[in-house]
Amino acid sequence: MKNLDETTPNGIAPQTGETNATDDDLPASPEEIGATPLQAAVPTTGTTEPTGTDKDSPAGELDESGTPEESGQAEGHDPEESGGADQPISDEQSVPIDVPVSAEEKISHRRSWLVTIIIGLTILFLIAVISAYGGYRSGITARQEAESTQLAGALKQQYQLGVQDLESGNYYRARQRFEYVIGLDPLYPGAAEGLSAVLFELNTTATPTLVPTPTLTPTPDMRDVQDIFDQGQEYLRNGEWDNAIETLLTLRKTNPEFSMVQVDGMLFIALRNRGKDKILLEQDLEGGIYDLTLAKRFGILDAEADGLLNWSQLYITGASFWEIDWGQASYYFSQVAPHLPNLMDKSGYTAGERYRLSTIEYGYYLAEQKKWCQSFEQLQLALSIAYDAQVEQDMNTVAERCAKGEEPTK
C-alpha cells in the first residue's frame, strides 16, 4: 500500500501514463485509520496543496449504509467523464431562490390600487358636480331671460295703453299706467315724458272744485314762531291733520331753523296719519299714497303704514288691468286680498271682490281658449272665495272636458 501523502484529498492516486489504479492503491477506510469520516477528508499537515479541487470540500459522502462512497475509484474511472462532478462550486456563484411575497407587501399593493380607484371616483364626481352646476346656471339664465322678455312685453303694453288713455283724455288711468311702467323701469323710453304730460293736464284741467278761493290762501301769520309751533302741536293732539300740516309748513317758511328736528317729526306724524285716513276712511288711495310717500321723507314708516302704501299701490296696479288682462288683474289682487280684503277705491269694489271677479273672468277666458283644466282651477279658486251657483255649474262643465283630455294641441 502506498503512502497516504501521495494521494489527493479525495483519496485517488494521481494517474500516470504508465500505471493504472489498483485495489491496493485505495486508501484505508475511516475505521482502519481510526478517524471519523469528516476527519478522513482533511489532509494531514505537510501534504501538498491539491489542484483543481476545493480544499474545504469533503472527500466523499456517506451512503445509506454509513460508509463513505467511493466515487471515481472504480477501474476505468475518468474524472472528465463525470461531467465535472468533482469541480467545486465557487462562493461567488449564487443559486436563484424564489422569495415569497410578504403579507405587508400584498396589503401595500392593494392599498395603492384602492387609492387609485378613490381618486378616479373623486374626479368623476367633481366632473358630474361641475356639469350639474353648469346646467343649473344655464337654466337660471334662461329663466331670467324669459322673465325679462315677459316683463318687457308687459311694460310695452302698459305704455301703449297709457298713451291711448292720454290721447282720449282718461288722465287718471293714463297716470296709473305710466307710474306702473316707471316703477318697474324708471328709464323706460317715453314713460317719464308721458307722466309729465298727464300731470300737466291734471293740473291745468279746470273743474269747479279746483277753483282757488280766498279761503285757501292763508294770510301772512305774524305771530311769534313759538305760538305757531304751539298751535301746530295742538292740532296734532286733536287729530286735525290738515290744520297741523298747514301750520307746520307755515312755521317752516317763517323760520326754517326753528326746532327743525321737532317740526320734521310733527310733519311725519301728520302726513302719516292723514295718508292712512285717506286710504281707509275716504277710499282715496292715490291721495293716501301721496301723503305716505311724503312722510317717508321725514322718517321711516312703521309696518302698518308701509303695508298700506304697498297694498294701495298693488290695488291701483291691479285696477289698471281691469277688463284688459284678467290674468294680471287676478294676480295683483291675489296679493292684496289676503292682507286687506276690504281695501277699496272710489269704485266701491273691495280687494277681495275684485280678486274673486277677476279670477272668474280669467277662468272663462281660459275656457274660451279651450284650456279646460286651467279654467277649472281658476273657477274652483273663485268658488273657494265665495259661492256662486252659475260659476259652480260652469266649473262642472269644464271639469268634464278636462277629464276627457280635450286640451288644445298647441
pLDDT by residue, tens only, the chain of 410 residues: 344 344 444 444 444 444 444 444 444 444 444 444 444 444 444 444 444 444 444 444 434 444 444 444 434 444 444 444 444 544 444 455 555 556 677 677 777 888 889 998 899 888 988 888 877 777 777 767 766 777 777 788 888 888 888 888 887 788 888 878 877 777 788 887 787 777 767 655 444 443 444 454 555 444 588 888 899 899 999 999 999 999 998 888 888 888 888 888 899 999 999 999 999 999 999 999 999 999 988 888 889 999 999 999 999 999 999 999 999 999 999 999 999 999 999 989 999 999 999 999 999 999 999 999 999 999 999 999 999 999 999 999 999 999 887 655 44
Domain membership of residue 112 (yes or no) is no
Residues 137 and 253 occupy one common structural domain: no
Q: Find cell 477528508 and name the residue.
A: 41
Cα–Cα nearest to 306, from 319, 324, 288: 288
DSSP state of 5: G
Domain membership of residue 110 (yes or no) is no
Q: Give CA–CA dist 114/104, Å, rounded.
A: 15
Kindly report the CATH number assigned to the domain that includes residue 189.
Answer: 1.25.40
One-letter amino acid for residue 103 of the chain: A
383 in Cβ contact with 391 (< 8 Å): yes
Residues 219 and 204 occupy one common structural domain: no
Who contacts 366 (Cβ-Cβ below 8 Å, separation ≥6)? Answer: 372, 374, 375, 378
State the maximum Cα–Cα separation within the chain, in Å, rounded to a whole number: 173
Among 149, 179, 210, the domain-final residue is 210
Domain membership of residue 293 (yes or no) is yes
> Strand pairing partners for 350?
344
Residues 329 and 237 occupy one common structural domain: yes
Residues 382 and 395 occupy one common structural domain: yes
Helix, strand or coil for residue 68?
strand
Grid coordinates belonging to 208: 269747479
Among 141, 176, 210, the domain-final residue is 210
| Helix-strand-coil split of the chain, %, nearest 5 | 60, 0, 40
Residues 204 and 294 occupy one common structural domain: no
Q: Give CA–CA dist 300/199, Å, rounded.
A: 27
Domain membership of residue 338 (yes or no) is yes
Domain membership of residue 285 (yes or no) is yes
Residues 234 and 364 occupy one common structural domain: yes
One-letter amino acid for residue 31 of the chain: E
Residues 229 and 375 occupy one common structural domain: yes
Domain membership of residue 123 (yes or no) is yes
Query: What is the number of structural domains in the chain?
Result: 3
Domain membership of residue 399 (yes or no) is yes
Q: Find cell 273657477 and name the residue.
A: 379
Q: Give CA–CA dist 218/231, Å, rounded.
A: 15
Q: Give CA–CA dist 36/30, Å, rounded.
A: 6
Range of the domain at 224: 214-403
Residues 399 and 300 occupy one common structural domain: yes
Among 210, 229, 262, the domain-final residue is 210
Residues 332 and 379 occupy one common structural domain: yes
Domain membership of residue 163 (yes or no) is yes
Residues 71 and 130 occupy one common structural domain: no
Grid coordinates belonging to 284: 282715496
Helix, strand or coil for residue 350?
strand
Task: Return the sign of the alpha-carbon dihedral for residues 316, 319, 325, 328.
Answer: positive
Helix, strand or coil for residue 344?
strand
175 in Cβ contact with 198 (< 8 Å): yes
Residues 2 and 62 occupy one common structural domain: yes
H or E stretch including 262?
helix 260-280
Residues 205 and 300 occupy one common structural domain: no
Q: Give CA–CA dist 113/126, Å, rounded.
A: 20
Who contacts 61 (Cβ-Cβ below 8 Å, separation ≥6)? Answer: 68, 69
